[in-house]
Amino acid sequence: MAIFCTDAGHGGTDSGAAWQNVLEKELNLRYVLAFNDELKKRGHQVWTTRKTDQHVPNLTTRCQLINAHHSQGTPKFDAIISLHCDVAAYRSASSGRYMANEAVRGFYAIYSRESIQGRDLAKSIANEAKENGIAVKDGGKMTILIQS
């Protein structure tokens, strides 16, 4: 069984993306709590950065805290997953209203370019999403989110 650290993006005073009356921080928390339950049902250990609508540091600081915890080996995480439900929008010149940018719609999994296991996990998650009818952008993007 594996040890996961999950992170529901944003929280508290940081709502993340907002679209109409939907706040990203609420979606992130709802999905992460459901994901945590599913991982536990399958016998995995789960640590999480937040279980309620509380403020936690920005993504860079979260990564530093998780990495510091991870490097101390208490516990040593097999995977760290940060979930975001971002939105890309632009302001319409004609109406002045914000509109969703459909060109950047979709699902993507970001992983550390230094981690082969992270790449494989991200691809597996992206493939699972694709098989369940979710539009996947580029099959996953490569970037350094969390240093190993």
Give the binding site for Zn ion (CB under 5 A): 9, 16, 84, 86
Minimum CB separation from Zn ion for residue 84, in Å?
3
- The residue (of 36 and 82) whose beta carbon lies closer to Zn ion is 82
The residue of the chain with the least Cβ separation from Zn ion equals 84
**In the complex with Zn ion, which residue's Cβ is closer, 65 or 110?**
110
Which of 95, 119, 122, 87 is closest to 108 using CA atoms? 122
Nearer to Zn ion, 14 or 78 (CB): 14
CB burial of residue 31 (10 Å; 0-12, 13-18, 19+)? middle
Query: Residue 85 Cβ, how far from Zn ion at the closest point, in Å?
Result: 7
End-to-end, the C-alpha distance of the chain in Å comes to: 21
Q: What is the largest CA-CA distance in the chain?
A: 55
- CA 24 to chain centroid: 11
Between 78 and 86, name the residue whose CB sits nearer to Zn ion: 86
Residue (64 or 117) nearer to Zn ion, CB: 64
Cα distance between residue 129 and residue 89, in whole Å: 23
Is residue 39 exposed (0-12), middle (13-18) or buried (19+ Cβ within 10 Å)?
A: buried
